[in-house]
Amino acid sequence: MYIKRLTVRNVGPHKKLDIEFKCGLVGIVGRNGCGKSTVVNLLYAVLTNDWSRFEGVKADCINNQSKQEDRAFAEIAVEHNGINFTLRRSLRPNKSVFIYDDDPANEMTNSEKITEELRKIIGVD
């Protein structure tokens, strides 16, 4: 699996974060408290929709400095075995979106169907 991109808006300490990952070994460095662990935990949360690596409930992950009308989400672009997809887990509004090949016609929003699709593509729960 190659995670090509991570986009974060208003989650954890990150107001706006865009990371393009290169193929191969990736290291995340920075000072204490800058959000390195949050990046790793967000990658896990987006893939699994399991937010238990964060303290409190899912809604507690929203950046404290964001306005009530601001969207809060984490999104990844992935390539796996020749299949490209984008997966977004939104905290505000609470919604999941899965899209094959950046084609909105291939959009899925049902969490159970997304989990089932990921299981087919990746081959693990």
The amino acid at 17: L
Is the pLDDT at 40 greater than 80? The verdict is yes
Taking the C-alpha atoms of residue 109 and residue 43, their distance in angstroms, rounded to an integer, is: 19
Q: Kindly report the average pLDDT of the chain as a whole number.
A: 93
- The confidence band for 124, taking pLDDT boundaries of 50, 70 and 90, is confident
87-102 average pLDDT score: 94
Dihedral sign, CA of 18, 99, 23, 46? positive
Helix (H, G, I), strand (E, B) or coil at 101: coil
Per-residue pLDDT reduced to its tens digit, 107-120:
999 999 999 999 99
Q: What pLDDT was estimated at residue 75?
A: 98
Is the pLDDT at 26 greater than 90? The verdict is no
The single residue listed with the structure tokens 């990371």 is 19
Q: What pLDDT was estimated at residue 33?
A: 84
